[in-house]
């Protein structure tokens, strides 16, 4: 009889927004030939590939913060009130990161509510 341990599946749930911030500030600014800053794209992709390669999860999902106020903002007015605005170089990379995760089927278009 197989053990319960051998039937266990592993799911990684990644906070995509936190990964973007982490990648952006971990790497020096890099631009592609068209001038788009790409350090967050590279760092984010590298971190995901490392998890996939080293941990080999059965499933991996990336979730992103929604743009604009959320339930937390309504419930707690000071939520993220002291956070500085997102750097321009970071915000320009987000659509590419979203497209990447959608393309490799780690996210879906509709947010979960």
pLDDT digits (tens, 9 = 90+) for 28-61: 999 999 999 999 999 999 999 999 999 999 999 9
Inform me whether the pLDDT recorded for 109 exceeds 60: no
Q: CA Rg, the chain, in Å?
A: 17
Banded pLDDT at 4 (limits 50, 70, 90): low
For residue 23, the enclosing domain spans: 10-103
Tell me if 109 is assigned to some domain: no
Instruction: Give me 111's structure tokens.
Output: 């947010």
Q: Predicted confidence band at 1 (pLDDT cuts at 50, 70, 90)?
A: low
pLDDT at 113 (0 to 100): 44
The pLDDT assigned to 55 comes to 95
Of 43, 49, 73, 61, the residue nearest 111 (C-alpha)? 61
In a domain, 70, yes or no: yes
Question: Which positions ≥6 away from 42 have C-beta within 8 Å?
Answer: 23, 27, 30
Please tell me what DSSP assigns to residue 42: H
Q: What CATH number should be reported for the domain holding residue 51?
A: 3.40.50.1010
């Amino acid at each position: 009889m197989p053990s319960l341990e051998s039937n266990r599946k592993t799911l990684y749930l990644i906070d995509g927004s936190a990964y973007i911030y982490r990648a952006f500030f971990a790497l020096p600014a890099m631009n592609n030939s068209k001038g788009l800053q790409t350090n967050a794209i590279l760092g984010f992709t590298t971190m995901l590939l490392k998890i996939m390669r080293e941990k080999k999860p059965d499933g991996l999902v990336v979730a992103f913060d929604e743009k604009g106020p959320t339930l937390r903002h309504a419930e707690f007015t000071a939520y993220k009130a002291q956070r500085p605005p997102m750097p321009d170089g970071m915000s320009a990379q987000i659509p590419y990161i979203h497209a990447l995760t959608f393309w490799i089927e780690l996210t879906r278009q509709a947010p979960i509510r």
